[in-house]
Amino acid sequence: MTYQCHDTKEKIMEVARVLFSDHGFEGTSVRDIAKAADVNVASVNYHFSNKENLLTEIMRSGYEECSHTVKSIYERNNSLEETLVELFQYFTERSHNLVSMFKIKLSTQHSHHFVAEGSKDQLLGPPGGVVIAAAIRNELGPDVTEEDVVWALRCLFTHVVHQSLMYNCCMKQGTSFQFTDTDIEKSIRRLTRIVLQDLRKK
């Protein structure tokens, strides 16, 4: 079993993302990860130097994956409403990516993962936020104010992210959740329409 670096490293990251999402960073031991990934305990430190660095790589790849997904979704359908609905579907398929990123964002200890490398003081916005903002501008034409775009972005992104978190966590917990994915899709569409409608009135 020599020369399987790439497979092992990626397997560790994928398994760790799931475990961090379910039990948190501190709630997951390197041994748990190695066992679940079916690799040796020492290989985690070999490939990532230490546990903290494993988190760093997971966060970076997760943020990039999400940004890239939003971009490619919008380039395909060219519609704000459809993009938001498909973003919810992506968050459901890759719920561990969303949940682990969000938990880290809420943590004091690991929040530095959301600070861009070059400019240490600049907080990263939501992944794909630039694309959604552009989509809003495209729907409303050139007369829309920047303040309105920011407000709409915040309303809509918040809604999609929070509904995705609630939907996927309650599903995982096995408790009877009141809302189906169809309900949430309807909710996203309705909110998108009334937000755009309000911005057009001005």
Q: Contact positions toward a second copy, by CB under 8 A?
A: 22-27, 99, 102-103, 105-109, 111, 114-115, 121-123, 151, 154-155, 158-159, 161-163, 165-166, 169-170, 172-173, 175-179, 187, 190-191, 194-195, 197-198
Beta-carbon neighbour count of residue 35 at 10 Å?
13
Q: Is 107 in the site for DNA (CB under 7 A)?
A: no
Q: Is 10 in the site for DNA (CB under 7 A)?
A: no
Tell me the helices (H) and strands (E) count for the chain, helix number first. 9, 0
Q: CA-CA distances (angstroms) from residue 68 to 51, 56, 126, 133?
A: 26, 18, 12, 15
Select 54 or 195, whichever has its Cβ closest to DNA.
54
Site for DNA in 14-73 (CB under 7 A): 28-32, 39-43, 45-47, 49-52
Residue in 33, 91, 32 with CA at minimum distance from that of residue 62: 91
Residue in 146, 15, 159 with CA at minimum distance from that of residue 84: 159
**178 is in the binding site of which of DNA, a second copy, none (Cβ under 5 to 8 A by kind)?**
a second copy
Name the residues that contact DNA, by CB under 7 A: 1-6, 8, 28-32, 39-43, 45-47, 49-52
